[in-house]
């Protein structure tokens, strides 16, 4: 269900809840019964989290301006040895 805003010429604004895509261009006013026209507004969008915004901007920039690296990245290191020697005897996956 979506909420659609309407404005009556004599009574002012009011909202009507209908299924998405079933909004009419005019509906009767809830107070006086005259025809009220639909008011078009910006959609109610939520803000994206900052890390997601940065990732999206980086992805967009790399599509036509790839980052150039000057050296090969270092190899990933394996897990650090356990400080307890008994852990070395445990089975490995």
Task: Write out the residue range of the structural domain in which residue 6 sits.
Answer: 1-58
- Whether 19 is covered by a domain: the verdict is yes
Residue 36: count of CB within 10 angstroms of its CB: 25
CATH number, domain at 54? 2.20.28
pLDDT in tens, 48-82: 888 888 888 888 877 777 777 788 878 777 777 77
Q: Phi/psi class of residue 21: alpha, beta or left (left: φ > 0; alpha: ψ in -120 to 50)?
A: left
CB 23 within 8 A of CB 15: no
Asked whether residue 88 is domain-assigned, the answer is: no
pTM score: 0.46
Mean pLDDT of the chain: 84
């Amino acid at each position: 269900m979506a909420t659609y805003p309407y404005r009556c010429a004599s009574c002012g604004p009011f909202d009507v809840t209908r299924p998405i895509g079933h909004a009419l261009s005019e509906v009767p006013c809830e107070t006086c019964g005259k025809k009220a026209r639909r008011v078009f507004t910006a959609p109610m969008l939520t803000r994206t989290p900052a890390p997601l915004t940065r990732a999206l901007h980086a992805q967009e920039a790399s599509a036509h301006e790839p980052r150039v690296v000057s050296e090969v990245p270092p190899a990933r290191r394996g897990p650090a040895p356990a400080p307890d020697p008994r852990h070395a005897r445990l089975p490995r996956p």
